[in-house]
C-alpha cells in the first residue's frame, strides 16, 4: 500500500515537473523570437547602410574624387574645330598630386595643339578593376600634308593609391614583358601588310615589308607606344601614317591603331 502511494507521489512530481517545463517553454520561445526579430531588423539596417555606401561612395569612387557630382573622368570643355567636329577636353576627377599633374599637362598641351583650328582632340576612359585608363586621340593637320597624323597619349591610374602607373606596372598586371609586346606589334603590322597585298594596295615585288614600314613611318615598333586597358584586355596604341601613293588611307580605320597585347 505504501509502495502504491509512493509511486503515485513520484508520478505526481514527474507530472508537476513536466507541466512546469511545458509552462516555461513558451516564455523562452517568445523571448528568443524577440531577439531574432530585433537581430534581423538590425542586420537589415546594417546591410542597407553598407549597400548605400557601396552605391554612393565606394562603387563610384566618391571617396577619392575632387567633385563627387562628376564621374572619375569628365569633359571639362567641348567646342568645334573648323571641320565641325567636337574637341573634348578631359579632366581627371581625382584628388591627388598625380591627377593634378595630368590635368595641367593635358591643358597645356591642348592650348598649344588646338591653336591649329583644324586639329581634333577626343578621349575615352574606362575603369577595369582598380585601374583607371585614359586615352587621348589627337588628329593633327599640317600644311605639308593633305592627310592628318594621328597621335595618342594614355594615362593609367591605380585607384587604390591614386597614383599614375608606369609602363612596367601596367605590363605586370598582365604578366607580359616589353619583348612580348614588341612581338605582338610586329605580328600586327605584318598582318596589315599581308592584308593590303591581298587587297591589291601593294605588289610585293614593288614594295616589300620594309617598304611598307617606311611608308608607315615606323623605324622602331616600340616608339610612340601607349598602353590602355579596355574591357579587361591590354591594348597598345601606336600612331602611324595611314597614307602613301597607294591610297591606303581608304584601308585604315580607327581600329587599326589598337593592337591587342594580352588579357
The confidence score (pLDDT) of residue 1 equals: 44
The confidence score (pLDDT) of residue 142 equals: 80
User: Of the ranges 33-42, 160-169, 194-203, which one carries the lowest mean pLDDT score?
Assistant: 33-42
Q: Which residue has the higher pLDDT, 214 or 36?
A: 214
Q: Which of 157, 169, 171, 56 is nearest to 100 (CA)?
A: 157
Paired strand residues for 121: 138
User: How many Cα neighbours within 13 Å face the side chain of 34?
Assistant: 5
The confidence score (pLDDT) of residue 44 equals: 61
DSSP 3-state assignment of 24?
helix
Torsion region of 82: left, alpha or beta (phi above 0 gives left; psi -120 to 50 gives alpha): alpha
The confidence score (pLDDT) of residue 2 equals: 38
What is the torsion angle, in degrees rounded to the nearest 10, for the CA atoms of residue 23, residue 29, residue 31 and residue 32? 160
Output the pTM of the full model: 0.76
Average pLDDT over residues 130-159: 90
Confidence of residue 10 (pLDDT cuts 50, 70, 90): low
Alpha-carbon distance 210 to 193, whole Å?
A: 10
Average pLDDT over residues 21-49: 61
Q: Please state, as a whole number, how many other Cβ atoms lie within 10 Å of the Cβ of residue 99.
A: 24
Alpha-carbon distance 156 to 188, whole Å?
A: 23
Amino acid at each position: 500500500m505504501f509502495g502504491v502511494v509512493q509511486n503515485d507521489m513520484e508520478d505526481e512530481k514527474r507530472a508537476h515537473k513536466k507541466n512546469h517545463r511545458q509552462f516555461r517553454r513558451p516564455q523562452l520561445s517568445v523571448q528568443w523570437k524577440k531577439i531574432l526579430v530585433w537581430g534581423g531588423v538590425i542586420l537589415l539596417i546594417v546591410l542597407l547602410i553598407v549597400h548605400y555606401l557601396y552605391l554612393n561612395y565606394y562603387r563610384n569612387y566618391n571617396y577619392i574624387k575632387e567633385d563627387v557630382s562628376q564621374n572619375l573622368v569628365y569633359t571639362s570643355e567641348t567646342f568645334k574645330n573648323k571641320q565641325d567636329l567636337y574637341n573634348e577636353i578631359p579632366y581627371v576627377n581625382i584628388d591627388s598630386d598625380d591627377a593634378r599633374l595630368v590635368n595641367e599637362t593635358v591643358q597645356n598641351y591642348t592650348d598649344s595643339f588646338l591653336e591649329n583650328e583644324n586639329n581634333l582632340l577626343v578621349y575615352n576612359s574606362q575603369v577595369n578593376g582598380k585601374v583607371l585608363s585614359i586615352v587621348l586621340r589627337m588628329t593633327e593637320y599640317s600644311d605639308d600634308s593633305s592627310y592628318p597624323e594621328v597621335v595618342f597619349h594614355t594615362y593609367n591610374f591605380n585607384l587604390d593609391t591614386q597614383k599614375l602607373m608606369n609602363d612596367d606596372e601596367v605590363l605586370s598586371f598582365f604578366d607580359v614583358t616589353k619583348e612580348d609586346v614588341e612581338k605582338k606589334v610586329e605580328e600586327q603590322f605584318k598582318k596589315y601588310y599581308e592584308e593590303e597585298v591581298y587587297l591589291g594596295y601593294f605588289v610585293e615585288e614593288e614594295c616589300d615589308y620594309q617598304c611598307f614600314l617606311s611608308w608607315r613611318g615606323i623605324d622602331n615598333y616600340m616608339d610612340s607606344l601607349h598602353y590602355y586597358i579596355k574591357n579587361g584586355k591590354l591594348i597598345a596604341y601606336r600612331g602611324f601614317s595611314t597614307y602613301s601613293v597607294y591610297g591606303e588611307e581608304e584601308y585604315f580605320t580607327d581600329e587599326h591603331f589598337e593592337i591587342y597585347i594580352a588579357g
